[in-house]
């Protein structure tokens, strides 16, 4: 294990004002996104859409890494260039989603555990040889009556730790993603309680797996009320409680935390990240690893038409810049509206 290489890559990904584009939608997920704009989900359209994003002028100014699905990791642009070379040429790091998805956990009704460890070492060696600098594995933790259980939290944390160890063995930075879902009717305090329990278990398991935290990144949910909750928290409360929860659970050795947006709107995700960075005096960098919150406006502007590339790229560049400012605590609603 080359810990110096791992640390260098991790710090590059959370360099000031930059974050991750999560473009790792599966074939099924991207079809749902394309259906919303009336575009057929062919391989050519899927690859062309990603190429459009990666060729955005100034792409690397605010995007330090891109998570890809296997299809796009191996795909080529229209001129024959590998898509991952477009990312690397922008001084951004290509990354790969390696889990096999969340499946029902046996004897744990309503709970899921992420699969994909079988054969992972062999796959990771191949991805590393192809140019992957980091990888991602997502665990899904739901909140409902009696859920999550301790057994489900432990099972997911253990899988995350085993995945992270395999990544580091092959010189790839693991992004550890334990997502506490915001789909339910729980309030922000319940989210805090569950997120704290999950992160504590994750770092216990990473320690037991001999994972070097200096060569990892965390991709957590923000501490936020569920979508169905009658009591929604303010931007300031989300920021304060998220930072408080992270300070209780995430060791200072971790270089950075790259939040998922979790179904928030584009501006909500930006505002929350900015408010956290405005708190200051944090032991780790706080940045973003957004999918829809970076792409939604660009996807609509594109509409599947080549003549809309420039408009879509402008929409994407705007969101990337806004989140880059938020990662430094320099965003404001005035900047958002003036841009």
From start to end of the chain, where are the E strands?
A: 19-23, 63-68, 93-97, 102-104, 112-114, 134-141, 173-180, 217-218, 256-259, 285-290
Would you give the DSSP letter of residue 213?
G
* Cα within 13 Å of Cα(53), Cβ side: 34
Active-site pick, 25, 177, 179, 201: 177
- How far apart CA 132 and CA 124 sit, in angstroms, is 9
User: Which listed residue (112, 136, 219, 241) is catalytic?
Assistant: 219
Helix axes 43-54, 292-302, angle to 10 degrees: 110
31, containing H or E segment: helix 27-36
How far from 184 is each of 157, 162, 222, 240, 259, CA to CA, in Å?
22, 29, 14, 21, 19
CA dist., res. 329 & res. 166, Å (int)? 34
- DSSP 3-state assignment of 125? helix
Q: At what angle do helices 120-130 and 150-169 cross, to 10 degrees?
A: 50
Task: State how far Cα 115 lies from the chain centre.
Answer: 18
Determine whether 219 is an active site residue: yes
179 belongs to the catalytic site = no
Structure-token pair, residue 129: 């040889």
Q: Which residues are part of the catalytic machinery?
A: 177, 219
């Amino acid at each position: 294990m080359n810990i110096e290489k791992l640390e260098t890559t991790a710090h590059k990904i959370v360099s000031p004002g930059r974050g991750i584009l999560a473009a790792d939608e599966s074939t099924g997920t991207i079809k749902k996104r394309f259906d919303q704009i009336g575009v057929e989900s062919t391989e050519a359209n899927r690859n062309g859409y990603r190429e459009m994003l990666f060729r955005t002028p100034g792409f690397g100014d605010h995007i330090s890494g891109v998570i890809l699905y296997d299809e796009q990791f191996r795909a080529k642009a229209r001129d024959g260039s590998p898509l991952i070379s477009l990312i690397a040429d922008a001084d951004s790091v290509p990354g790969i989603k390696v889990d096999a998805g969340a499946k029902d956990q046996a004897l744990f009704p309503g709970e899921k555990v992420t699969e994909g460890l079988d054969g992972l070492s062999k796959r990771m060696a191949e991805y590393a040889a192809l140019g992957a600098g980091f990888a991602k594995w997502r665990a899904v933790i739901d909140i409902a009556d009696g859920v999550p259980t301790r057994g489900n939290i432990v099972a997911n944390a253990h899988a995350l730790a085993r995945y992270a160890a395999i990544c580091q063995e092959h010189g790839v930075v693991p992004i550890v993603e334990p997502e506490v879902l915001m789909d339910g009717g729980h309030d922000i305090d319940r989210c805090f309680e569950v997120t704290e329990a999950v992160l504590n278990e994750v770092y216990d398991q990473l320690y037991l797996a001999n994972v070097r935290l200096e060569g990892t990144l965390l991709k957590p949910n923000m501490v936020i009320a569920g979508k169905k909750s009658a009591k929604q928290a303010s931007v300031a409360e989300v920021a304060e409680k998220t930072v408080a929860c992270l300070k209780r659970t995430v060791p200072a050795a971790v270089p950075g935390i790259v939040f998922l947006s979790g179904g928030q709107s584009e501006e909500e995700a930006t505002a929350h990240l900015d408010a956290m960075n405005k708190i200051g005096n944090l032991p780790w960098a706080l940045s973003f690893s957004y999918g829809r919150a970076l792409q939604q406006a660009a996807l609509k502007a594109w509409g599947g038409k080549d003549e809309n590339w420039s408009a879509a790229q402008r929409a994407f560049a705007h969101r990337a810049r806004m989140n880059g400012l938020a990662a430094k605590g320099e965003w404001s609603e005035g900047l958002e509206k003036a841009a």
